[in-house]
Structure 1
Amino acid sequence: MAAKFAVFTSIILSSLATPGNLLDSPKILPFHFPSNLELGTHVHVLCGLSKGSLPVNFVWKKKSEILFPLKGKIEFLYDADVSNLKIKNLESNDFGNYTCVARNEAGEDSYTSQLIAEAPPFWKEQPKDTEAVHGQSASLHCGIGGYPRPKITWKKAYGTQSKDFLVVHNEYKKTILENGTLVIDSLKEADEGVYTCEAENGVGEGIQATVRLSVHAPPTVTSVKRRTSAKRGETAVIECEITGEQPLLVSWEKDGTKLTMPFTRFETYEEANGKGVKATLLISNVQRRDQGNYLCSVQNDYGSVKDVTALTVQEPPESPSDVKVISVNSRSAQVIWGAPSGISTSIKQFVIMFWKNSKVSGKLHQVSLTSTETSTLLRDLQPGNEYTVQLLAENDVGRGDPSDPVTFETKEEEPEAPPVDVEVEAADSHTLQISWKPPPTDTWNGQLKGYHVGYKVEGSASQLAYETVIKTNLREEKTLLRNLRPSTRYSVAVNAFNSAGDGPASEEIVTSTLNGDPPQSPEVKVKNVSQTSVTIMWSPRVNSDASVEQYVLEYVDTDQNKQEFHAPGSHKEYCIEGLESGQRYSIRVAAYNMFGRGDFSPSLVVITEGNARVPGYEPIVHETPFYFRLYFVIPVVASVTVILCVIVVAWACLKRAHYIEGRKAQLYVSYQQRLTYVPPSEISRDSRAVDAAYDIPWDVPNGGGSMGRDRSSYVKLKQGQNYV
């Protein structure tokens, strides 16, 4: 009715206007939607004129489309120079730009305002389980709505339990589109698994959904010999190793003709392995007519593949005879041999093969020689290495069997390269620790016997003094230079040697001994043990002019999970909280001063009170007789409990007194559990290098930074203490 009234009013006012009157075009006053809107509420806005001749016609638009009244949703109220838009039960799809247009005979004006309300994330399109084929691409959709625009994160589960997730980033073949879709190109088996899409925008609760991506593998021939041969009368073996999703259907063809089994002298069988199938074609009593191309054809539900092996039937010559190696030097050796007996005139050429024997397979070298040659010189060999050499003869049909292998060893030369990654650091005021790695293996020119570590006071005219270190099989060598001067700079260099002599020395490294020593390990004791916490206390041992600047505390649980944190040097006790009841923990403490970290204290083994939790345990409930039910048992148990509590408390107090007096055991348990403690061997300090968790000491004047402030969620500072 209001709309009809407005139109009627416009018609009347229009009839009153005379052509001679000067009309003003409408001008809309700016309007805005409220900024604190919420979903489900109502909103209305006024579009009024600052000027303009009547009658005026108002039109509302959203995203360039005209709005019409909608029962229970959109209403319009009109006056002569005002239009009121009302939107009920605000939803996320109501967001957008709204435009008010005012028209009269003199012209028109419009004004646009944006309707925005905060909305938590909601699903436009939930992710679904997806299946794809190996090598192709897959798209995992995650359609999310909400305002502000939600942040979408994809994660992929790893591990056998699929409980731990890693964030998926835009990298290599993974792309997260603007609409939240995760696209994975060139799928592999590693891409298969469980994925989770998470969304949050700071409004309300975030949402997430988990899906599985299954990657199906078409058949692939992973191993096939392009050419193979067999001697006449023997059995030819043609193998085709295939991977792909089962079931795999294998068939064979020869020169385009399908081989239907059973076939004369032909036999096929298939052997399943961990990733697929190994298909084998056997041809017994091979004849020349069996020579040709054999096709291995495989298919499954996701594709097919074919591969060809060419079979050559041959009658090769005999092996060369009397193969010997003479005149062996460090980089060359001469090989002599005799021609095969009986068929030497049919030989086209000899092929000599040699390779270096090593743990890693040596590169095979092949040299072709004429049929008249009976010796050759092997060049460019590496000194101090063992080689194997074999010869074979070749005729028009093919190559014969190689001769028996002959091994020889080249003479040694001095190593060609110095040790690498040489590091020198001060252990204390009289000791330097030197560590290095061997030179590259191919520069040893023999077997390394050891190393010479040379050192002298920096700038002195004297020659380097040397200490010999016998080579070990470790990846890194170490030694200590002792009895040095305090606070003195030394030049250090290392070279390797073998039976032939010394190799080149590394570049000299200059390092100064300390002018003081790191602190000794503190004496650590257990002050208190509860079900979920352990309080330890320590006292430093004064052996240095430098005061302790901070402590590093380390504890390891039963599963060998290590936690480490730092405490200021002014503190002498710490409460470790968030532990599990009935669990065994190993705790040790080391001190830092300006000269570095001292030794860790011997480990304390502590068992928290209570019984250990057994995951997944569910008690079995049986119907019990009346005399076991609560109304009968409780009075009896209450009486017994009072008596037991008195006994147990007295016994626990006595045990606590024994623990305080007998500190050598250093095993702390609750009265429910008792274990025999074997003291751990003393842990020696192998380096003065700063501990990994002590990269930037947080309470040392020359440190700074935030290292050491980080606390595990299981470890907290003791309440009531003041910490920096």
Structure 2
Amino acid sequence: MAVMFSLAVSLIVILIGLPVWGNSMDSPKILPFHFPTSIEHGAKVPVTCVLSKGTPPIMFHWKKDNKELFTTEEKLEIVTHGEFSLLVVKNINGNDIGNYSCIARNNAGYDRYTSELLVQAPPFWKEQPKDTEAVHGQSASLHCGIGGYPRPKITWKKAYGTQSKDFLVVHNEYKKTILENGTLVIDSLKEADEGVYTCEAENGVGEGIQATVRLSVHAPPTVTSVKRRTSAKRGETAVIECEITGEQPLLVSWEKDGTKLTMPFTRFETYEEANGKGVKATLLISNVQRRDQGNYLCSVQNDYGSVKDVTALTVQEPPESPSDVKVISVNSRSAQVIWGAPSGISTSIKQFVIMFWKNSKVSGKLHQVSLTSTETSTLLRDLQPGNEYTVQLLAENDVGRGDPSDPVTFETKEEEPEAPPVDVEVEAADSHTLQISWKPPPTDTWNGQLKGYHVGYKVEGSASQLAYETVIKTNLREEKTLLRNLRPSTRYSVAVNAFNSAGDGPASEEIVTSTLNGDPPQSPEVKVKNVSQTSVTIMWSPRVNSDASVEQYVLEYVDTDQNKQEFHAPGSHKEYCIEGLESGQRYSIRVAAYNMFGRGDFSPSLVVITEGNARVPGYEPIVHETPFYFRLYFVIPVVASVTVILCVIVVAWACLKRAHYIEGRKAQLYVSYQQRLTYVPPSEISRDSRAVDAAYDIPWDVPNGGGSMGRDRSSYVKLKQGQNYV
């Protein structure tokens, strides 16, 4: 029993960490350890933490840069046994550089030993620079956290020039400081500090690294120009201006003697005009009165600050207008203006202001130039040739500006147009003709009033000069002309230039186009063969054309409502029957022929009126077929032989028929006389210009041209039954 009791006591003492023998415990003491001095990338480095003394049990743990290390990390391996602990760092790289600490602890205390692991590593980013924004007048910090061993040398550079490709080194100097950790600090920021910066680092191991960032300097509002005192003539308009720079948006408000002016306000008007770096705020006071005199506050704010400035307004009489304003020595781009000082108060003139603008349909831009009080002439520059301008002059003294002088109008001399015509197109009309179309040059390049165009042409590759034809300018959006009497199947170079009173402008690029190898067919001679209530049969005779045979015909007819229908038929046919027409309606019919060179001109229009009553909108009449023995051509001869009265009627009818026939001969009008209708005069006969039409319907009688058209002719033109066709 005594032995078992002794063993139990010993076990309890061991478990609570008390020595079995003696009355005290030794705290741990770690022997110094060190990492190898030369370590290559990718190597595996072991280091052992061994105790020189310490009473068990001992607890070991490791830290890197005061951060606990765990064996869960793939790069680390920690083996602890008794009185030592082994740390293994695998696949060494620059990120493993740091201070490694071994900590041993028991109930009596603890010990810690730290050793630095250094690896020759190229520079690497700990904290990469970022774009930075700051406010004008404050400071900005551009961070550049870089690791590596040996310690990298950090260099900052700033881009200059518009392309941001050239850089200057930034040194420690006034306002600029580069800290030990690589951070660039810039104090009292100005607009010139804004730009692109590059942080570069190198330590002789591997390649250096660099990063580029932008520093944006935001500007609070600043009043750059304001008149401390201004004046205005009673009854006129006072102008108080406040020019502000700063980052947009800029919010402008106005106060008078401490009272805010809320717009719209009686006789007060405000507007802002943006300029390169800010805005020009203007307060207009119309019909100035004595009570308008006072202090006007221009208040501006944006997201980065605010500013205020005051202008004192005095209401008094301004000077009179300058006298004898004249424009002399007018050239194409300049004009000399002379004037005399206002009478009686010339000694009080502070300055003259000349205003001029271009007179155009679109309101011209107003130009203002300030001149000293001693000047009596000035040269207006950068005017546009061939334009009318208006100029006015006013005087200003310490009180304000006077009335402008009477307007003087002058016109600059013309210069040749600066640009060629645009959208020039050339296409062959036939074997001897080219059609040219174009649009005028941009209006602001005319340098005067365009008179017309010169169309130059020559055979491509020939050494001869261009031959020219003159085309007078029209007011149409597109100009056209025809070059005639050219060689067949010949390539021509064509160019167009505009001209005014000063001369010719530049020519357009030459366009090369070939005339056709032959001509489209002439228009056929068309006649009406028969007219009924619902159909018209026409026939035609083709004109002689030796260039190529007719491949197909196109028949076009238009009804009273200007609805157009078009049919195609083979070139071998000389007759059509148009069916499905309305009775008593007027139709205009014309025919054109196609050959391999395109479509020829349409024939003159034939005006035909079908038999029967005319259609009344909303009412469909019932048409009864009249027996032939009641028709006029049968009844009139019989009645004429019975009575003289009826003979008179027949004669009148015959005269009327002759009158229609004579008119019809002029306009090819054909009317059925079963029921008399009011005569409708034919419309003016139109003639299409001859042109190549490569997109007309598939011909009937050429290879691969039949198709569905040849199989289903009923959807185009129905041939009359019982007739013979060639």
Q: So what's the TM-score if we normalise by structure 1?
A: 0.49
Determine if the alignment matches structure 1 residue 504 to structure 2 residue 484: no
Q: Please identify, of 199-208 and 677-686, the stretch whose mean Cα deviation from structure 2 is larger.
A: 199-208
Contact 2:332 2:414 in 1 (8 A): yes
1: CA distance, partners of 2:542 / 2:565: 22
CA shift digits 1:348-386 (9 cap, x unpaired): 654333233334443433334445443322222122222
> Residue 296 of structure 1: CA displacement?
24
Change (3 A) 1:231 1:123: same
Change (3 A) 1:620 1:342: farther
Gaps of 5+ in 2: none
> Residue 403 of structure 1: CA displacement?
2.2
> Residue 538 of structure 1: CA displacement?
2.6
Change (3 A) 1:105 1:416: same
> Residue 451 of structure 1: CA displacement?
2.5
1: CA distance, partners of 2:715 / 2:154: 27
CA shift digits 1:377-429 (9 cap, x unpaired): 22221222222222234567765443222222222222222222222222322
Change (3 A) 1:96 1:11: farther
2: CA distance, partners of 1:278 / 1:459: 60
Contact 2:490 2:515 in 1 (8 A): yes
Corresponding residue number in structure 1 for 2:67: 65
Change (3 A) 1:72 1:330: closer
Change (3 A) 1:564 1:253: farther
> Residue 520 of structure 1: CA displacement?
0.9
> Which residue among 544, 547, 569 is the counterpart of 1:545?
547
> Residue 601 of structure 1: CA displacement?
0.9
> Residue 102 of structure 1: CA displacement?
71
CA shift digits 1:98-155 (9 cap, x unpaired): 9999999999999999999999999999999999999999999999999999999999
Contact 2:631 2:674 in 1 (8 A): no
Q: Name the SS of the counterpart of 2:702 in structure 1.
A: coil
Contact 1:13 1:54 in 2 (8 A): no
Corresponding residue number in structure 1 for 2:132: 130
Contact 2:576 2:717 in 1 (8 A): no
Q: Please identify, of 583-592 and 559-568, the stretch whose mean Cα deviation from structure 2 is larger.
A: 559-568
2: CA distance, partners of 1:10 / 1:422: 114
2: CA distance, partners of 1:642 / 1:369: 103
Change (3 A) 1:651 1:296: farther
Q: Name the SS of the counterpart of 2:651 in structure 1.
A: helix
> Residue 504 of structure 1: CA displacement?
1.6
Determine if the alignment matches structure 1 residue 294 to structure 2 residue 296: yes
Contact 1:10 1:56 in 2 (8 A): no
Q: Please identify, of 177-186 and 417-426, the stretch whose mean Cα deviation from structure 2 is larger.
A: 177-186
Contact 1:6 1:80 in 2 (8 A): no
Change (3 A) 1:391 1:49: closer
Q: Name the SS of the counterpart of 2:192 in structure 1.
A: helix
Contact 2:557 2:590 in 1 (8 A): yes
Q: Name the SS of the counterpart of 2:642 in structure 1.
A: helix
> Which residue among 693, 696, 699 is the counterpart of 2:698?
696
Change (3 A) 1:404 1:191: same
Corresponding residue number in structure 2 for 1:11: 11
Q: Please identify, of 84-93 and 224-233, the stretch whose mean Cα deviation from structure 2 is larger.
A: 84-93
Q: Please identify, of 501-510 and 702-711, the stretch whose mean Cα deviation from structure 2 is larger.
A: 702-711
Q: Name the SS of the counterpart of 1:706 in structure 2.
A: helix
> Which residue among 238, 241, 244 is the counterpart of 1:242?
244
Change (3 A) 1:258 1:630: farther
Change (3 A) 1:291 1:164: same
Identity level (%): 92
> Residue 490 of structure 1: CA displacement?
1.7
Contact 1:10 1:54 in 2 (8 A): no
Q: Please identify, of 609-618 and 43-52, the stretch whose mean Cα deviation from structure 2 is larger.
A: 43-52
Contact 1:489 1:513 in 2 (8 A): yes
CA shift digits 1:296-354 (9 cap, x unpaired): 99999999999999999996643332111122222111222223334556656543332
Q: Name the SS of the counterpart of 1:605 in structure 2.
A: strand
> Residue 234 of structure 1: CA displacement?
9.6
> Residue 551 of structure 1: CA displacement?
2.4
2: CA distance, partners of 1:202 / 1:670: 110
Q: Please identify, of 5-14 and 685-694, the stretch whose mean Cα deviation from structure 2 is larger.
A: 5-14
Change (3 A) 1:568 1:627: closer
> Residue 583 of structure 1: CA displacement?
3.1
> Residue 602 of structure 1: CA displacement?
0.8
Q: Please identify, of 71-80 and 186-195, the stretch whose mean Cα deviation from structure 2 is larger.
A: 71-80
> Residue 470 of structure 1: CA displacement?
3.3
CA shift digits 1:230-277 (9 cap, x unpaired): 985799999999999999999999999999999999999999999999
Q: After superposition, where does 1:457-606 map in structure 2 within 5 Å? A: 457-606=459-608
Q: Please identify, of 569-578 and 452-461, the stretch whose mean Cα deviation from structure 2 is larger.
A: 569-578
2: CA distance, partners of 1:451 / 1:47: 99
Contact 2:568 2:717 in 1 (8 A): no
2: CA distance, partners of 1:407 / 1:421: 36
Contact 1:120 1:202 in 2 (8 A): yes
> Which residue among 655, 658, 661 is the counterpart of 1:659?
661
> Residue 569 of structure 1: CA displacement?
2.7
Contact 2:535 2:610 in 1 (8 A): yes
Change (3 A) 1:627 1:686: closer
Q: Name the SS of the counterpart of 1:211 in structure 2.
A: strand
Q: Please identify, of 458-467 and 551-560, the stretch whose mean Cα deviation from structure 2 is larger.
A: 551-560
CA shift digits 1:520-566 (9 cap, x unpaired): 11122233434444343333212233112222333333343444443
Q: Please identify, of 6-15 and 458-467, the stretch whose mean Cα deviation from structure 2 is larger.
A: 6-15
Change (3 A) 1:335 1:577: farther
The alignment of Structure 1 onto Structure 2 pairs a total of residues equal to 724
> Residue 463 of structure 1: CA displacement?
2.1
Q: Name the SS of the counterpart of 2:707 in structure 1.
A: coil
> Residue 495 of structure 1: CA displacement?
2.0
Change (3 A) 1:713 1:385: farther
Change (3 A) 1:80 1:466: farther
1: CA distance, partners of 2:647 / 2:199: 53
Contact 1:455 1:493 in 2 (8 A): yes
> Residue 460 of structure 1: CA displacement?
1.8
Contact 2:592 2:602 in 1 (8 A): yes
Contact 1:155 1:167 in 2 (8 A): yes
Change (3 A) 1:148 1:248: same
Change (3 A) 1:253 1:366: closer
Q: Please identify, of 34-43 and 479-488, the stretch whose mean Cα deviation from structure 2 is larger.
A: 34-43
1: CA distance, partners of 2:122 / 2:8: 45
Corresponding residue number in structure 1 for 2:428: 426
1: CA distance, partners of 2:178 / 2:721: 46
Change (3 A) 1:643 1:678: closer
1: CA distance, partners of 2:65 / 2:257: 69
Corresponding residue number in structure 2 for 1:25: 27
Contact 2:607 2:667 in 1 (8 A): no
1: CA distance, partners of 2:209 / 2:627: 50
1: CA distance, partners of 2:558 / 2:344: 76
Q: Name the SS of the counterpart of 2:715 in structure 1.
A: coil
Q: Name the SS of the counterpart of 2:658 in structure 1.
A: helix
Contact 2:319 2:395 in 1 (8 A): yes
Q: Please identify, of 338-347 and 36-45, the stretch whose mean Cα deviation from structure 2 is larger.
A: 36-45
2: CA distance, partners of 1:241 / 1:660: 84
Q: So what's the TM-score if we normalise by structure 2?
A: 0.49
Q: After superposition, where does 1:69-218 map in structure 2 within 5 Å? A: none
> Residue 502 of structure 1: CA displacement?
2.1
2: CA distance, partners of 1:43 / 1:580: 107
> Residue 480 of structure 1: CA displacement?
2.8
Change (3 A) 1:362 1:630: closer
Change (3 A) 1:352 1:118: closer
Q: Name the SS of the counterpart of 1:466 in structure 2.
A: strand
2: CA distance, partners of 1:198 / 1:652: 111
2: CA distance, partners of 1:649 / 1:30: 147
Contact 2:438 2:478 in 1 (8 A): yes
Contact 2:357 2:365 in 1 (8 A): yes
| Structural RMSD (CA) | 23.8
Gaps of 5+ in 1: none
Contact 1:388 1:407 in 2 (8 A): yes
Contact 2:612 2:623 in 1 (8 A): no
1: CA distance, partners of 2:163 / 2:303: 29
2: CA distance, partners of 1:193 / 1:637: 110
Q: Please identify, of 225-234 and 634-643, the stretch whose mean Cα deviation from structure 2 is larger.
A: 634-643
Contact 1:42 1:90 in 2 (8 A): yes
Change (3 A) 1:665 1:448: closer
2: CA distance, partners of 1:626 / 1:141: 111
Change (3 A) 1:620 1:100: farther
Q: Please identify, of 97-106 and 676-685, the stretch whose mean Cα deviation from structure 2 is larger.
A: 97-106
